[in-house]
Structure 1
Amino acid sequence: MLDREREAREQSPSAVVVDSQSVEAPSAPCGSGFDAGKRIKGRKRHIADNADGRLLMVNLNTADISDSAGAQEIVSAIRRRWPWLKHLFGDAAYARTKLLDTAAYRGFTVEIIRRSDDVSGFRVLPRRWVVERTFGWMTRWRRLVRDYEKRLDVSEAMIHLAMASNLLRRLAHR
């Protein structure tokens, strides 16, 4: 809240951006799956950021869980913790009927941000860059490049520790 106030924004965010990242999990005894799209055997991190890139929620699953199924858990948990959030942004992987129905039932306005086939090369997509930047901040911690933890709760704690360190650094340098 202090960081948002320093940027002359309201304390409470009104929008959330969701995305997922598949990471290898070589130490996971049985908590890993295979993400066929990325060809990765490991775990999938589903995160929700506010529009400024601050981590609101993280959910870890096996890599074979689809993005929309993981986001359904995130949407339900977000509504319980932050009831004032109104808008939900995601990529084309979240344009599934079940997720959209869950989000609408929970009172979210959903906006799917799609890539354009007309544009070649790299292009920054609105709202999506925020969550991609958060994944970049996470992977600055060597321990989070791969998921070395055997337990999901320890892995989630390491993500929260990395993001708390990032927030403290932001607060200290202003």
Structure 2
Amino acid sequence: MKTTDAAEERGIDGGKKVKGRKRHIVVDTMGNLLDVVVHAANLHDTKSGILVARQVMAPFPTIKAFSADAGYRKSFEEMMAQEFQCPVDISEKIKGSWRIIPKRWVVEQTFSWLNHYRRLAKDVEKSVSSEVAFVKLSHIHRILRTL
């Protein structure tokens, strides 16, 4: 996610060539947000996945399995097996064609819902805690609209 110059925590994602932050979200099978973690973009997904898992497993210890994309592999899978005895289903990219990857679309759909909020389309927040709060607030608003 691109950030403004005044951001407190920024980094450069080498793969996407973007200065800014990364958002990691954990959702249930319905797409409801369980937790969000925001950090500088220069931290690799395997390392940040471990941070996200530890943060989400504290309030939700009954989670039995995780699904993740190919960015979260090896050390993340090993840590989840050792620390939480929780299997991780890694969805691989399908080369040569575009297809909806089972279970992965739920996370992408939630990101899409969040990006419809103008304040979240580009990261203009100075502090990470403000961005996390606005992501959670936007998700609460989305849920309340469906009632």
- Which of the five TM-score ranges fits, normalised by the shorter chain? over 0.9
Q: Which runs of 5+ in 1 are unaligned?
A: 1-22
Does 1:66 pair with 2:44? yes
User: 61, 73, 78: which one pairs with 1:101?
Assistant: 78
Cα-Cα RMSD: 1.2
Q: 1:15-53 CA deviation, whole Å, 9 max, x = no partner?
A: xxxxxxxx0011434411001111110000011111110
Number of aligned residue pairs: give it. 146
| Counterpart position of 1:55 | 33
Structure 1 Cα separation of the partners of residues 6 and 131 of structure 2: 11
Question: In the TM superposition, what are the counterparts of 1:15-164 in structure 2 within 5 Å?
Answer: 23-96=1-74, 98-104=75-81, 105-117=83-95, 119-120=96-97, 122-164=98-140
What TM-score, normalized to structure 2? 0.94
Q: 1:64-99 CA deviation, whole Å, 9 max, x = no partner?
A: 011111110111122211111101000111112x21
Give SS of 1:129's match: helix
Q: 1:86-114 CA deviation, whole Å, 9 max, x = no partner?
A: 01000111112x21121112121111111
In percent, how many aligned pairs have the same letter? 32
Give SS of 1:37's match: coil
Structure 2 Cα separation of the partners of residues 157 and 92 of structure 1: 28
User: Which structure is larger by alpha-carbon Rg, 1 or 2?
Assistant: 1
What TM-score, normalized to structure 1? 0.80
Moved over 4 A (4+): none
